[in-house]
Amino acid sequence: MNAWEMKPLGEDGLLLGVHPGFACGKKDITGGVPHLRMNNISKDGLIEMSLVRRIPRDVAEARNRFAEPGDILFNNTNSTELVGKSCIFTGWQERCTFSNHLTRIRPNAEKLCVEWLFMCLRDMWLQGYFAANCVEFVGQSAFNKDKLLELKIPVPPLSEQRRIVARVEALTGRLKQARQARQAALAEAETVFQRALEDAFADEITEDWREVPVEQLFEVVSGQFSPLDPKFKHLPYLGPEHIESGTGRIIGERRSVEELKMRSGKYLFTPEHIVYSKIRPALRKVCLPDYTGLCSADMYALKPNIHAVKREFLLFLLLAPPFSQYAVDNSDRNAMPKINRETLFGFTFHLPEIPEQERIAKLLLTLRSKTDELQRLQREVETELAAFVPALLAKAFRGEL
């Protein structure tokens, strides 16, 4: 620690350059140049290229602000908690320029290891430094170039920077491997569940089941209620965004219609109902709520006929390929495709006897519960990693690694 100094980034030749990017209103130009933005830096500190905006090539060439491998991209403008998230740009299949929401930091490799600088910036972001020191505007916050250059970081000898970086990467690599292994296991479990769902309702299985019209299986709960009514405003709200595609899981935080400031009419559902999203049938959003609430007008609340079909079995009937493909093929062809009531009741289901319904539903619920357990374990790993990295960086900057 004796040779460590706290130095401003803008002094002692630590950097070769600090350059904010530029704005461009044209963002989806075919054949254009990639224009990196806020979304291209992940919270994990990685470059994220799933959504790439492209600007006119002549604009990019005229501005001549390109990211090179070994640069750090610093998110200077975003919502307060995201200001300061950074990544090391490792290059891409094309040259990339970057927006005015990002600042390109190019360290002097003779004095500052890029991985060390990234660790310093990431530690400050995780500790909330940028959130506490950014300037807040309407709808966004910023940390400008001048403040960035004044930022003080510890600067040990270059060899020590490299040693500590290698140590940190080795230690975090173990947790990352555990996370990847859990993610692979979770993906495999989800695949097994979907395959079992397809097999349970395959043609050769269902050919001996009896045909049952929809009107004999369930009815659609009608009548909208105002979320402003004192009897309903404290009820939980359920929308399509709260249902996981293809699994029947309810996801996200449960919040009341009053808290969400809902105003338009909604449908009342209870634990005896099934809730099915009528919009974008390809997403296969249907669930079994275990509480009473108000659901979006974009959803159907269905009341099963318990003498004809088990509620859990009906859930999987609606998720399975025969009905889900029918819903896609027969949905309205517009910007927001949906399945209307006439189409919903135009399908003919095939059903086994009640004992067989119970057996199939139990099997599928058991498989889904295994993926739920893997998800729980995955969340634990993520929590451990989230806590481990800041603690590890703190030890590194105390010279304890």
Whether residue 214 sits in one domain with residue 152? no
Residue 330 has pLDDT above 60, yes or no: yes
Looking up residue 312, the CATH number of its domain turns out to be 3.90.220.20
**Domain shared by 127 and 236, yes or no:** no
What confidence category does residue 316 fall into, taking pLDDT thresholds of 50, 70 and 90? Answer: very high
Within a domain: 278: yes
Domain shared by 131 and 14, yes or no = yes
- The answer to whether the beta carbons of residues 44 and 54 sit under 8 Å apart is no
- Does the residue 261 lie in any domain? yes
Q: Please report which confidence band the pLDDT of residue 287 belongs to, taking 50, 70 and 90 as the band edges.
A: very high
Q: What is the mean pLDDT of the chain?
A: 88
Instruction: Tell me the mean pLDDT in the region 156-169.
Output: 89
Rounded distance, CA 322 to CA 157, Å? 65
Amino acid residing at 343: T
Work out how many domains the chain is built from and give that number.
2
Do β-strands 140-142 and 135-137 pair in parallel, antiparallel, or remain unpaired? antiparallel
**Averaged over 141-147, what is the pLDDT?**
93
Q: What is the pLDDT averaged over residues 267-272? A: 92
User: Domain limits at 142?
Assistant: 5-156
| % of the chain surpassing 70 pLDDT | 98
Say whether both 236 and 135 belong to one domain. no
CA distances to 180, 213, 309, 365, 373 from 359, in Å: 34, 22, 13, 10, 21
In this structure, the answer to whether residues 62 and 125 fall within a common structural domain is: yes
CB 84 within 8 A of CB 6: no
Look at residue 25 in the predicted model and tell me its pLDDT: 84
Give the mean pLDDT of 202-219.
89
- Is the same domain home to 104 and 235? no
Residues 191 and 176: their CA atoms lie apart, in Å, by 22
254-268, 284-298, 322-336, range with greatest mean pLDDT: 284-298
In a domain, 193, yes or no: no
Rg of the chain over Cα atoms, rounded to whole angstroms, equals 27
Looking at residue 67, what is its pLDDT? Answer: 96
Instruction: Band the pLDDT of 50: cuts 50, 70, 90.
Output: confident
Q: How confident is the model at residue 386 (pLDDT cuts 50, 70, 90)?
A: low
What is the pTM assigned to this prediction?
Answer: 0.58
What is the Cα–Cα distance from 104 to 217, expressed in whole angstroms? 61
Q: Is residue 385 part of a domain?
A: no
The string of pLDDT tens digits covering residues 216-263 is: 999 998 888 888 888 888 899 998 889 998 889 998 888 888 888 877
Confidence of residue 60 (pLDDT cuts 50, 70, 90): very high
Indicate if 225 and 335 belong to the same structural domain.
Answer: yes
pLDDT attached to residue 3: 55
23 domain-assigned? yes
Two tokens, residue 77: 């403008």
Q: Residue 162 falls within a domain, yes or no?
A: no
My answer on whether 38 and 105 are in the same domain is yes
Higher pLDDT, 8 or 388: 8
Query: How many Cβ atoms sit within 10 Å of the Cβ of residue 324?
Result: 20
335 plus 235 within the same structural domain: yes
Residues 215 and 322 in one domain: yes
Per the domain annotation, does 395 fall within a domain? no
Last residue of a domain, one of 128, 156, 184: 156
Task: Work out the pLDDT band at 8, boundaries 50, 70, 90.
Answer: very high
Is 363 inside a domain boundary? no
Higher pLDDT, 370 or 217: 217
Task: Tell me: do 133 and 266 sit in the same domain.
Answer: no
**Residues 229 and 295 placed together within one structural domain of the fold:** yes
